[in-house]
Chain A
């Protein structure tokens, strides 16, 4: 899958992942469903071959599932339930739906949002 380099800035340009985390997410209709809470990487072999696979979007500036989004992390049930409740609005923007990243304004323009799936769930 090729992406127009204009999406992310010119080739070779370097950014920190922390600039992406917390960025505002904007949909084509101008609405803002939330902020980048997590950056999912995929690829390999070798860490240098991993690329951004998509962005986890949540309604707060920062948020963490503390690992409870994965199906194998079970207990304690109460804590898992609370974390899931607090983060029930999380959604996923796969890389193909990212139209543009404005690094200066910290805004990510996204075509559409999909449901957040367990990373180990079959696709």
Chain B
């Protein structure tokens, strides 16, 4: 049991990257439109986030420096500020979406409009971020979020034509009803979501919160190697069940309320209840992850005291930022904006934030001044360099694709 709790940070981090509200709907949409023909992107994304989280976690464990410290130290105040603004664009928009996502999950269970739940959810979230211990937060939401495994069980129970599914996986093409531009747009969106920068902000800062030292590098790696592939597998399971149920029916997923339907068909009410619990925990966990990441990044950029391991009054500006973001998020959501639509715009900010986040991690993970003997090995460097190039290509392609496809339509 203790072993499970030891990897809760990795699981919670991965949930924010792979099955938060935006990803749940996007994965279901991709499954219903493209089948599993984009599954390879998730695999590529998982490897990428594993490579860079391992580096950022190792830097945190050896040097005690979290990721936004590195950004500022290697890029300086000017480009560092550009990255701060872009990363905040991604993280804060996602934070808003998650609060709306928790409200949506509750709406499905109660059929009371999500807008009415927003203030309640936000208040509960803020109390958790203010008062609940970091370890409790990651254990509860990380592990309860695993309820989403019900999608994998549903897939097995649906007993689809596995050969046909595998044919989709290996088709590497958009299929008859979609264009290549649309295919590329969703490939970029899935890749961007897998490597979304708040994962490394949260993971490395979480390592500092947990007082990782050199002896904890093994635990850190266990978190990385278990957490992210698990997150990727969950997102693939969501895409697979929608590919089985919705693709032949000609249904394109556009809202969270459609996502539990395949589980209902396969497993009935019990399955739906577990899926809704999973939605709630995953979106609430992702809200914690993004909310804290907003505070972590700003505090680390400006050198403020931060973290949940000190009393709030010892990290006053950090907690003020979290309080303020929660209030602004509520204000935005009360305009009745669609929370899922909010995440689509974050792709734009990823274009700038991704390269400017992963370059400094790669550089510092090679610097013996920080790392001593624990600098990157050859494999980490080869993969890191290759992924940096891929990230640059994706960053350049993201905005034109978004415009060409009108956001994937």
Contact = CB atoms under 8 A, between A and B. Distances in A.
B254 interface: no
Main secondary structure of the interface of B (DSSP, over half): helix
Interface stretch (A28-36, A51-59, A76-84): A76-84
Main secondary structure of the interface of A (DSSP, over half): loop
A76 B55 CA distance: 13
A74 B366 contact: yes
A62 B376 CA distance: 28
Interface stretch (A3-11, A39-47, A64-72): A64-72
A77 B381 contact: yes
A77 B362 CA distance: 12
Given A66-B74, A66-B363, A76 B376 contact: yes
A75 B384 CA distance: 10
Contact of A76 (B74, B76, B367, B385): B385
A75 B382 CA distance: 9
B303 interface: no
Interface residues of A, number: 12
Contacts, number: 33
B362 A67 contact: no
A73 interface: yes
A62 B382 CA distance: 28
Contacts of B375: 74-75
A62 B76 CA distance: 11
A16 B221 CA distance: 43
Nearest to B78: A62
A79 B385 contact: yes
Nearest to A74: B366
Interface of B: 74, 76, 362-363, 366-369, 375-376, 378, 381-382, 384-385, 388
Interface of A: 62, 64, 66-67, 72-79
Given A72-B368, A76-B366, 10 more contacts: A67-B74, A67-B367, A67-B369, A73-B366, A74-B366, A75-B376, A76-B362, A76-B385, A78-B385, A79-B388
